[in-house]
Amino acid sequence: MIDEPVFVRPDLIIEPLVDRFYAWLHTVAPVQAAMNLAYAQVPLLESYLQSPQVHINASRNPELRGGFFVNIDPSRVAEVRDLLTAIKRDRAPMLDFAAAISDGEDLVRQSATGFAMTPLYPKLPAALSGLVEMAYDTNNQPSIRYMEPLVYESPVYTEDRQCVQLSLDTGVERPFILSTPRLPGPDVLELPIPFRHPGLEELCRARLEPTTLGRLREALELDDAQAAQLPRLLTDKPDLAGDRHIGDGGRIRYFGHACLVLQTPEGAVITDPWVSSDAAATGRYTYRDLPDFIDLVLITHGHQDHIVLETLLQLRGRVGTVVVPRSSRGSLADPSLALYLSRLGLPVTEVDDFSEVPFPGGTVIAAPFLGEHADLDIRAKSTYIAKFAGKTVYIGADSSGIEPGLYRYMRRQAGAVDMAFLGMECAGAPLTWLYGALLTAPVTKKMSDSRTLSGSNAAQASAILTELGAAEAYVYAMGEEDWLVGHVMATSYNEDSYQLKQVEEFMTWCSEHGVKADHLYGQHEWKW
């Protein structure tokens, strides 16, 4: 059977891990990964080991959903203790680098008082030597710039942190990715290979093209025990939807959250790809519905629910380029998306505001993205305007209408919009929920709570529609699709939730102003 043709099962999950924690931008990009390891993940494991049952009880409390509690049965305490010991031993350069960042930032705050910074360089921690530059802005505010490409080449970045776990989607919600590491299990095939490993591309291409057990074993460098687990992840025929391509006109399909697939007969674009792997489910599009080749992958920003590595890894070998917004180059809160994804084996194109990227049958224009980042100076965020098949579509992600005048200029630049897709998670998590490990100076709870990861409310969304001149408006599901986002966003709503009330208010406004509108959930299709 080793030479018989096989395909990947449609419900295959590939979970990317770093030191057993779920991999996302801030746990892989080396500067941010060091800070998260030292000031979030290590303290989290230490807290769990002190009181495992407290963590378990909190994990099961719906009111604490999304909190930082380790959801691992106390019977596995020894494994968690071994993980913590290994991290402290093997990641000492990362932990030292994180301490150096904290000390360096404190040095700049205390000693850079408007005078020349040259005397401060010898005082910087040794771990930062050659990897940073200090500077003032025109308001005389000092900061440190981290030379990311060099940090990737330093001991702080090591691919032996990386591994992947292969499993099948059972429909059961996975543990919250920001708090619970993934331990080995009998239903998981664990591969200690980096995310850029060519064997993963061979594996994922088998959704479309046949391979063999022998080829996969060689490509993934499996030993006998690993190879024995592989057949259950494979099948003898592909599961591909017959209508995954179109023959004329244009089409948009909604895959959930902020994921859209835009198609012409010649080409395809996907936004913030995040695809359900539960092939047995109904009422949603899954991997079987994706076109065979995707010309452009549009990434709007670096949050874990918009640049989903487990989906991006499954697209390796079948995308033309991943389009990402350019970062500010070296800011502690703003890692480069291009460096991150290119290191993971993906082809990348960086864009600035109003850069244009063509694809067969259309073109995409990058546009500014306001808000949603807790007022941090983060530049690696972009909305997009897609023009194809005679329509203009605004892809707004979580951008906010806090300054409506921006969208007036966007309309002048790119023309009126036919359809607008908007995010209205307008009561998002506070600053410290996602960025706490990167904050080297304390902030009060009141300050953190005032700075949230929020998209548009009803008034702001209405202002966007007015300025863009859009005839149709569609609000993304806001973490409501539990099969997709429960383990990533850990959101929960009820009929009285402020966010849903704001969506209702916006839907009413659209109805009163002759705008066709809907609040999306599950699969939707628009074809013309």
Placement of tokens 């010309």 in the chain: 295
| Distance from chain centroid for Cα 28 | 12
Task: Say what the alpha-carbon torsion angle 447, 449, 453, 458 is, to the nearest 10 degrees.
Answer: -110
- Residue 220 burial by Cβ neighbours in a 10 Å radius (0-12, 13-18, 19+): buried
Does the pLDDT at position 102 exceed 80?
A: yes
**pLDDT confidence bin for 494, thresholds 50/70/90:** confident
Q: Could you tell me if 467 and 416 are in contact, meaning their C-beta atoms sit under 8 angstroms apart?
A: no
Secondary structure (3-state) at 386: strand
Instruction: Output the pLDDT for position 1.
Output: 67
Instruction: Output the pLDDT for position 84.
Output: 98
Instruction: Output the pLDDT for position 479.
Output: 82
pLDDT tens digit sequence for 146-172? 999 999 999 999 999 999 999 999 988
Q: Which of 26-30, 265-269, 490-494 has the lowest mean pLDDT?
A: 490-494
Q: Give the separation between CA 182 and CA 185, rounded to whole angstroms.
A: 9
What is the average pLDDT value for the chain, to the nearest integer? Answer: 96
Placement of tokens 């109904």 in the chain: 282
- Residue 265 burial by Cβ neighbours in a 10 Å radius (0-12, 13-18, 19+): middle
Position 197: which residue type? H
Q: Could you tell me if 37 and 11 are in contact, meaning their C-beta atoms sit under 8 angstroms apart?
A: no
Please name each of the domains of the chain with its CATH number: 1-238 (no CATH), 251-521 (3.60.15.10)
Does the pLDDT at position 190 exceed 70?
A: yes
Instruction: Output the pLDDT for position 172.
Output: 87
Q: Could you tell me if 52 and 71 are in contact, meaning their C-beta atoms sit under 8 angstroms apart?
A: no
Q: Give the separation between CA 434 and CA 178, rounded to whole angstroms.
A: 9
pLDDT tens digit sequence for 243-269? 999 999 999 999 999 999 999 999 999
Element (H, E) at 47: helix 42-50
Q: Give the residue-averaged pLDDT of 182-202.
A: 96
Q: Give the CA angle between residues 354, 359, 360 to the nearest 5°.
A: 150
Instruction: Output the pLDDT for position 481.
Output: 86
Q: Which of 44-53, 77-86, 483-492 has the lowest mean pLDDT?
A: 483-492
pLDDT tens digit sequence for 355-413? 999 999 999 999 999 999 999 999 999 999 999 999 999 999 999 999 999 999 999 99
Q: Give the separation between CA 344 and CA 308, rounded to whole angstroms.
A: 13
Q: Give the separation between CA 336 and CA 30, rounded to whole angstroms.
A: 11
- Residue 375 burial by Cβ neighbours in a 10 Å radius (0-12, 13-18, 19+): exposed
Assigned token pair, 193: 């290979």
Q: Which of 278-282, 413-417, 420-424 has the lowest mean pLDDT?
A: 278-282
350 φ, ψ to 5°? -90, 145
Does the pLDDT at position 33 exceed 70?
A: yes
Position 469: which residue type? G
Q: Which residues contact 290 (CB under 8 A, 6 or more apart)?
A: 244, 261, 270, 275, 315
DSSP symbol at 121: G
Q: Give the separation between CA 161 and CA 360, rounded to whole angstroms.
A: 39
Q: Could you tell me if 489 and 429 are in contact, meaning their C-beta atoms sit under 8 angstroms apart?
A: no
Q: Could you tell me if 302 and 335 are in contact, meaning their C-beta atoms sit under 8 angstroms apart?
A: yes
Which letter, b or e, does each residue of 102-141 get, where b requires 16 or more Cβ atoms within 10 Å of its Cβ? Answer: bbbbebbeeebeeeeeeebeeebbebbeebbebeeeeeee
Indicate the pairing of strand 259-263 with strand 251-256: antiparallel
Assigned token pair, 401: 């209408």
pLDDT tens digit sequence for 219-250? 999 999 999 999 999 999 999 999 999 999 99
Indicate the pairing of strand 319-325 with strand 294-298: parallel
**pLDDT confidence bin for 485, thresholds 50/70/90:** confident
Q: Give the separation between CA 405 and CA 13, rounded to whole angstroms.
A: 43
The residues facing 162 across adjacent strands are 18
* HSE-CB of 127 using CA atoms within 13 angstroms: 18
DSSP readout, 201-219?
HHHHHTTTS-B-HHHHHHH
